[in-house]
């Protein structure tokens, strides 16, 4: 059984990317402070309380999935747009891309008694399309808002399952729990076989799931409804770009008279400069 590569918060992006390329999964411990975790909890509490549990076994009938975090929780930006995470995504996702964007945001609360989730790959959402091996289209993250333990449902992963065939999907005994203290983050390829763990405790396991995809793919969570323009205008520039308010590739996603989404939000006239992010590295959280 191969352990998940594990790093301290001062790790550099290059080291994590190397681990992802080799094992398809990595953990960075205590990347955000308890204050950030508590702020996300406070901002999301009323929304989580109003969320219905899943309608099937895969979603989890004792599990809730609360989305629209960019709009609902300013504190979540510290995780979703964390500088290290974006540097890793930039380097790990297909190098020939113009840009990348958020795929989804959700706070997942696995309740007591929840069974283990079926093993799967996140990039199956694209109609199970068989992307070429050299094209990494998705990078997923799971932040621990409570300590993740094997007993309370820590995400289970199969290191190395991002390459090769589908044999790993039939072997839950090959999984290892991504145990980590609150404020840590599990990072994994969209190809990596994984699933939520079973919660054998009396407590709820809370995790913040944020995934990133190439700019020319459809987002799993419709960010334009979750983060409509009136809210997007109030967000930091890089955060609103992550939501999808940017050109995804040459001429992809322009508005009205060939304006970029950034120009549209800012009320700026003129033609778009076709390309990717207009944000400098200094503007990233």
Q: How far apart are CA 156 and CA 197, in angstroms?
A: 6
Q: Express each pLDDT in 92-132 by its tens digit.
A: 999 999 999 999 999 999 999 999 999 999 999 999 999 99
- The residue behind tokens 């009396």 is 202
Domain boundaries, the chain: 6-235
Rounded to 5 degrees, what angle do the CA atoms 16, 22, 23 make?
85
- Which band of pLDDT confidence, cut at 50, 70 and 90, is reported for residue 275? low
Mean of the per-residue pLDDT values of the chain: 94
State both tokens at 272. 């778009």
Inform me whether the pLDDT recorded for 29 exceeds 60. yes
With beta carbons less than 8 A apart as the criterion, state whether 195 and 116 touch.
yes
- Note if the pTM is more than 0.85: yes
- Which band of pLDDT confidence, cut at 50, 70 and 90, is reported for residue 90? very high
User: What pLDDT is stored for residue 274 in this prediction?
Assistant: 60
Architecture of the 6-235 domain = Sandwich (2.60)
Q: How far apart are CA 156 and CA 211, in angstroms?
A: 17
CB-count exposure of residue 94 (10 Å: 0-12, 13-18, 19+): middle
Mean pLDDT of 12-35: 98
Mean pLDDT of 214-219: 98
Strand segments, DSSP code E, in the chain are 6-7, 25-28, 63-67, 100-110, 138-144, 156-157, 176-177, 185-189, 194-195, 205-214
Q: Which of 152, 53, 166 is nearest to 119 (CA)?
A: 166
- Which band of pLDDT confidence, cut at 50, 70 and 90, is reported for residue 177? very high
């Amino acid at each position: 059984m191969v352990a998940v590569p594990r790093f301290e918060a001062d790790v550099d992006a290059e080291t994590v990317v190397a681990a992802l390329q080799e094992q398809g999964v990595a953990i960075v411990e205590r990347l955000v402070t308890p204050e950030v975790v508590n702020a996300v909890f406070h901002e999301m509490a009323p929304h989580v309380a109003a969320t219905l549990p899943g309608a099937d076994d895969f979603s989890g009938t004792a599990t809730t999935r609360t989305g629209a975090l960019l709009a609902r929780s300013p504190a979540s930006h510290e995780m979703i747009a964390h500088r290290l995470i974006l540097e890793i995504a930039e380097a790990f996702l297909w190098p020939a891309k113009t840009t990348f964007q958020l795929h989804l945001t959700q706070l997942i609360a696995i309740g007591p008694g929840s069974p283990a989730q079926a093993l799967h790959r996140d990039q199956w959402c694209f109609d199970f399309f068989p992307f070429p091996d050299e094209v990494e289209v998705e990078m997923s993250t799971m932040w621990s808002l409570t300590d993740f333990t094997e007993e309370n449902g820590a995400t289970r992963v199969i290191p190395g399952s991002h390459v090769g065939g589908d044999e790993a999907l039939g072997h839950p005994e090959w999984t290892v729990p991504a145990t980590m203290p609150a404020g840590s983050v599990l990072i994994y390829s969209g190809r990596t076989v994984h699933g939520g763990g079973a919660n054998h405790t009396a407590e709820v396991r809370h995790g913040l799931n944020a995934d990133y995809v190439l700019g020319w793919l459809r987002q799993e969570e419709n960010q334009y409804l979750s983060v409509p323009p009136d809210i997007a205008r109030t967000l930091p520039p890089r955060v609103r770009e992550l939501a999808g308010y940017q050109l995804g590739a040459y001429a992809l996603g322009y508005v009205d008279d060939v304006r970029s989404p950034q120009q549209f939000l800012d009320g700026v006239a003129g033609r778009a400069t076709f390309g990717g992010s207009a944000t400098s590295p200094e503007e990233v959280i």
